[in-house]
Amino acid sequence: DRYDARSYSDKLFQKMSQVILDLGETESCIIEGRLSDYLLRNNPSHIAVLVTAPFEDRVEIVRKKRGLNKKKGAKLVKQQQKAREAFYKRYSAGKWKMTSGKDIVVNRAKLGREGCKDVIAAAYRYKVAQLEG
């Protein structure tokens, strides 16, 4: 019985990583976040997408969704961004940034949810045709 010194978060990330890698090898799927762009970077059918918006627009989206005032919405957006950056840094050994290595960056504030979906779907169709051709 060896003692496993990894934290619960580290163990969870290891299992989650394996699921992401397995899915990427066997299925056509969309995986949001969880460092999937980094984990799947060597997968030839992978498309790395960042859906983002300017800070004020993200605050407004979060504020409306959660029923918060502007100050609390801004605080939550900053906390979420900081947590995402820390997650990326920790599990990519500081080698990957959320905004690096993206094939597509779409602005949700400009395109809306449906517009982002349409751009990503078009990129997917192109990638499939490229791999088949």
88-127 pLDDT, tens digit per residue, is: 888 887 766 767 778 999 999 999 999 999 999 999 999 9
Three-state DSSP class for 48? coil
54-92 pLDDT, tens digit per residue, is: 999 999 999 999 999 999 999 999 999 999 888 888 888
All structural domains of the chain with their residue ranges: 8-128
Q: To which residue do tokens 């979420």 refer? A: 80
Tell me, what's the pLDDT at 68? 97
Q: How many CB atoms lie within 10 A of CB 105?
A: 12
Could you write out the three-class secondary structure of 81-127?
A: HHHHHHHHHHHCCCCCCCCCCCCEEEEHHHHHHHHHHHHHHHHHHHH
H or E element that contains 57: helix 55-66
Assign domain 8-128 to a CATH class: alpha beta
Tell me, what's the pLDDT at 32? 84
